[in-house]
Amino acid sequence: MANLIYYYGTMEAGKTTKLLMDHYNYLKNKKQVILTKPSIDTKGSNKVVSRIGNQAIVDFTINPNKSLLDDDYLEKFLNSDVIMVDEAQFLSPKQVSEFWYLAHLANIPVASYGLKVNFLGHLFEGSAELFAKADELRELTINCECGKLASQNVRLVNGHYCFDGPEVIIDGENNDVKYIPMCNDCMINKVILPNHPELKRIKK
């Protein structure tokens, strides 16, 4: 039977670029591809857009409250050779399980792409379920500005590090929110330590 794969990483680690390359290859090999993403990601509306300029049109977006086994979704999935999911961290845990079932019961490979952690360093709900269920986990990486591997996504609001607010604010939507990939050392020292003086007692 087929597998559920999760390609995960920080912002700017090349997840969407990898998705678009895989998408191109499937089409070149005459595969019937379904490209989808949760409707919570409003960036690029019905497109999957990489930061280096490539893009593809999604076939449909997934409502966070709907089951993927509903007739309108299921028929499309069952008629495909492969399913690709962008911004998969925004899937509900139930939807992740449903993709897992589609891979293992309907024999349709599911390739999902997304973030591991939110701006507070916590797993997204969808990512946690993907870490629990995916048959393959592949990390895509980028360096922090200090040179170490980035593993966190720090939120900047109006140019300042931000450590509170809602989990989901899509960057670039008429706001001053940006995300930057950062290693744990830099996040702890630059973002967490200034707001937690008690931690200064253990800093060497």
Report the catalytic residues. 87
- Least CB distance to Zn ion at residue 147 (A): 7
Distance of closest approach, residue 191 Cβ to Zn ion, in angstroms: 11
SS3 of residue 2 by DSSP? coil
Residue type, 8: Y
Q: How far is the CB of 141 from Zn ion (least distance, A)?
A: 13
> Count residues contacting Zn ion (CB under 5 A)?
5
Radius of gyration of the chain (CA): 18
Question: What is the full DSSP assignment across 34-76?
Answer: EEEEETT--TTTTEEE-TTS-EEE-SEEE-TTS-TTSHHHHHH
Q: Which residue number, 138 or 148, has a Cβ lying nearer to Zn ion?
A: 148
Task: Between 39 and 151, name the residue whose CB sits nearer to Zn ion.
Answer: 151
What are the CA-CA distances from residue 7 to residues 1, 35, 76, 135 (Å)?
Answer: 19, 15, 23, 11
Q: How far apart are CA 156 and CA 33, in angstroms?
A: 36
Which 24-43 positions form the footprint of Zn ion (CB under 5 A)?
none
CB 156 within 8 A of CB 178: yes
Strands 55-57 and 47-49, how do they pair? Answer: antiparallel
The residue among 31 and 148 lying less far from Zn ion, judged by its C-beta, is: 148
180 near Zn ion (CB under 5 A)? no
Among 20, 102, 183, 191, binds Zn ion (CB under 5 A): 183
Q: Which is nearer to Zn ion, 122 or 148 (CB)?
A: 148
Positions 120 through 179 that interact with Zn ion (CB under 5 A): 144, 146, 148
Q: For residues 183 and 164, what is the distance between their CA atoms, to the nearest angstrom?
A: 19
Candidates 4, 193, 187; CA nearest to 96 is: 4
The distance of closest approach from Cβ of residue 204 to Zn ion in the complex, given in angstroms and rounded to an integer, is 17
- The binding site for Zn ion (CB under 5 A) comprises 144, 146, 148, 183, 186
